[in-house]
Amino acid sequence: MRQSQLFPKTRKEAPRDAESINHKLLVRGGFMDQLMSGSWTLLPLGLRVVAKINQIIREEINAVGGQELLMPLLHPKEIWSETGRWDKADEIMYKLADARKKEYVLSFTHEEIVMDLLRKNIKSYQDLPVSVYHFSTKFRNEPRAKSGILRGREFMMKDLYSAHTDEKDMMEYYEKVKGAYIKIFKRLGFDFKVVEASGGVFTDKHTHEFQVINANGEDVVYACDKCDFAVNKEIFEGIEGEKCPDCKEGKIEKLEKTVEVGNIFPLGTWYSERMHVYYTDEKGLKKPVWFASYGIGPTRVMGTLVEVSHDDRGIIWNPAIAPFDVHLVELPGGRGKEIYDTFTEKGINVLWDDRDVSAGEKFSDSDLIGIPVRLVVSERNGDKIEWKERASEKSELISTDEVIRKIKK
Ligand SMILES: [Zn+2]
């Protein structure tokens, strides 16, 4: 992609109302734009990052047998009344009525919709287990929609739902998905904790959250300094400094704040009993389906990555989710077009700064946008290319072949 054609241009100043790092840097770098509080456009650069995040999630969820589909966002009131969540989730749901006074929900989750799909399609134990997911928009009535893209009224979500014959099968799959989530958050480059928490409007059971330590978060976690024990403040009954109840060796530390980037819920039969989702077992007996759901917010993941990976000049993307593989900066006399064509042919994604602006402006934009590798071609560098990684201050002059070899590695 030619940077001269990239929409929109970068900005020198952050919006005046921007408080968080992700809000400032993602808007300045041209990744996203705020329509109103909690409502964002993903611009071309931002959409590239989110598409890469989604692909990592997709690969790991497919690997545990998830099947991708796409469900609607506009739901009839009746389906939400079946579980009582039309009233129970009143505070966070957007509700609306059409000209004929028929009432609807703008979805903040899809348990009821998956249940409806299951009762239409599941008959016997032979039809189970089932595991389906989608990537789609979610709406949530947030009174405090701030912190940039970390907390939106409208945001992207990957939600997975699984249905089983019994609790044992559900819990085995729940542990499998927990493992898939650990792989996903490692690939995304996070330092995170798997935290026990309450289920909120989803379930009375304990659930698991995936929490990244960051000052802009809204959660507080108590965790052991030796083992994996970690519990959300809302359900933790001990105190800081006490001995870990799990390994009996480590001490409990208070981690504040943390950002929740994913959560998983073993929901049980609560939904299937209310929505009459039954199957027939081997003996011909009618039984309720066991059900679990699992979420990750890709747009929140993008915001959180910026919060934990930046410096005073801009964003530092992890190569796995960077909008481009390399940022080719062409200075006067450089072979920009030739290098761009060669790399593109090799399947390397290049942002080519072909603009007629100063070297200083090109370098500061490159630091702001944060592509992991910057390549400079200029008259002075001759047939060599200057290689500099965003996360490092060192640079080196190397041949085109060597650059390709390093990128492919
Ligand atoms: Zn411990």
Q: What are phi and psi of 169, to 5 degrees?
A: -65, -40
CA of 243 to the centre of ligand 1 (A): 8
> Scanning the structure block, which residue is given the tokens 């912190």?
147
CA of 232 to the centre of ligand 1 (A): 15
Q: How far is CA 127 from the centre of its chain?
A: 31
CA distance 42 to 301: 13
- Per-residue burial over 150-164, b if 16 or more Cβ lie within 10 Å, else e, is bbbbbbbbbbbbbbb
Task: Identify which of 264, 275, 268, 274 has the alpha carbon closest to the alpha carbon of residue 291.
Answer: 268
Percent of the chain, pLDDT > 90? Answer: 94
CA of 246 to the centre of ligand 1 (A): 5
Q: Is residue 216 pLDDT above 90, yes or no?
A: no
CA of 247 to the centre of ligand 1 (A): 4
Return the pLDDT at 170.
97
CA distance 232 to 260: 10
Return the pLDDT at 125.
98
Task: Identify which of 391, 369, 378 has the alpha carbon closest to the alpha carbon of residue 49.
Answer: 369
CA of 219 to the centre of ligand 1 (A): 20
CA of 223 to the centre of ligand 1 (A): 8
Return the pLDDT at 215.
85
Residue 213 tokens read as 């330590």
Per-residue pLDDT tens for 291-308?
Answer: 999 999 999 999 999 999
Per-residue pLDDT tens for 137-194?
Answer: 999 998 877 789 998 999 999 999 999 999 999 999 999 999 999 999 999 999 999 9
Contact 331, 359 (CB under 8 A): yes
pTM of the model: 0.96
Task: Identify which of 359, 357, 379 has the alpha carbon closest to the alpha carbon of residue 367.
Answer: 359
Please give the residue that has the higher pLDDT: either 248 or 199. 248
CA distance 263 to 293: 9
The total of other beta-carbon atoms located within 10 Å of residue 325's CB is 17
Question: In residues, how long is the chain?
Answer: 409
CA of 226 to the centre of ligand 1 (A): 5
CA of 301 to the centre of ligand 1 (A): 27
CA distance 271 to 383: 65
CA distance 347 to 112: 43
CA atoms within 13 A on the CB side of 242: 10
Contact 284, 319 (CB under 8 A): no
CA of 96 to the centre of ligand 1 (A): 48
Strand partners, 220: 256
CA of 230 to the centre of ligand 1 (A): 9
- Where helices occur in 228-320 by DSSP H, the ranges are 270-275, 298-308
Segment 247-265 mean pLDDT = 95
